[in-house]
Amino acid sequence: MNHFDNYHQSFNSTQGEISQLISEIERSSNDQAVARNTRDIHQGIESLKNNLRSMEMELSGLGALVRSRYESQVNQCKSQVQTLERRFAQAKDSSRRNIERENLFGGTSATTTMAHDSLTTATRDLDRLKGASRTTNDLVNLGGEMLGRLHEQGQRLENTERTLDRGHAEVDRGESLISTMRRRVTTNKCIQYCIIFVLIALIAFLLFILITR
C-alpha cells in the first residue's frame, strides 16, 4: 500500500495548506490577496479530489479484508473535503463583507477597480482550472476502464492456460493408455504364436508315430 500512503500523505499536506489559506481569507480585506488565495484554494481542492480518486482506485485492486481497513480513511478524507468547501464558502462571504466595509468607509475608486480586475482574472483562471479538471477526470476514468479491461484479459488468459494444462494432461494419459494397449497386443501375439507352434509340434509328433507303425 505504498501508493495509497503516498496519496494520503499528499492529501493531508494539501489539506493543511488549504486550511491556512481559508484562515487568511477570513481575516483579509485585501482584494488581490483574496483573489490569489481563492485561486490557490480552488486548485488545492481539485488536487484533494484527484488524490481521493487515486486512493479509491488503489482500493479497488485490493481484497475485501485489506480494503476495509482503508475505507474509513477514504470516508474521513471525503468528509474533510466537504468541511473545507463549507469553510471556504463562509470565508468568501466574510471576506466580501470585509471588502465592502473597507470600500464603504475608506476605499477609493482605484481600489474598487483593482478589486474588480483581480476578481475577473480569478474567474478566468477558475474557468481554465475547471476545464483542466474535467480533462483530468476523463483521463482518470479512461485509465480505470483500461485497467479493468486488462484485468479481464488477464483472467481469460489464465483460464485458457488452465484449459491447455488439462488438455496436456489428458493427452499424456491417452499416450500412456495407448502404450499399455500396444504392449498387451504384442504379448497376446506372442502367446498365440507359442500356442500355434505347440499345436504344430504335437501334430507332427502324432503323424510321426502313426507313420512309424
Query: Tell me: the pLDDT tens digits for 81-119?
Result: 999 899 888 888 887 777 777 766 654 444 555 655 677
Q: Distance (Å, rounded) from C-alpha 83 to C-alpha 19?
A: 10
Q: What are phi and psi of 29, to 5 degrees?
A: -125, 15
pLDDT value for 105:
64
Q: At what angle do helices 31-60 and 64-105 cross, to 10 degrees?
A: 170
Contacts of 91 (CB under 8 A, 6+ apart): 22, 23, 25, 26
C-alpha cell at 171: 493427452
CA 4 from centroid of its chain's CA atoms: 11
Report pTM. Answer: 0.44
Do 85 and 48 form a contact (C-beta atoms < 8 A)?
Answer: no
Do 74 and 58 form a contact (C-beta atoms < 8 A)?
Answer: no
> Which region holds residue 62: left if phi is over 0, alpha if psi is between -120 and 50, else beta?
beta
Q: What is the pLDDT of residues 121-169, one digit of tens each?
A: 887 788 788 877 888 887 888 877 777 788 888 888 888 888 888 888 8
C-alpha cell at 23: 484562515
CA 130 from centroid of its chain's CA atoms: 24
For residue 50, what pLDDT band results from cuts at 50, 70 and 90?
very high
Residue 26 has pLDDT above 70, yes or no: yes
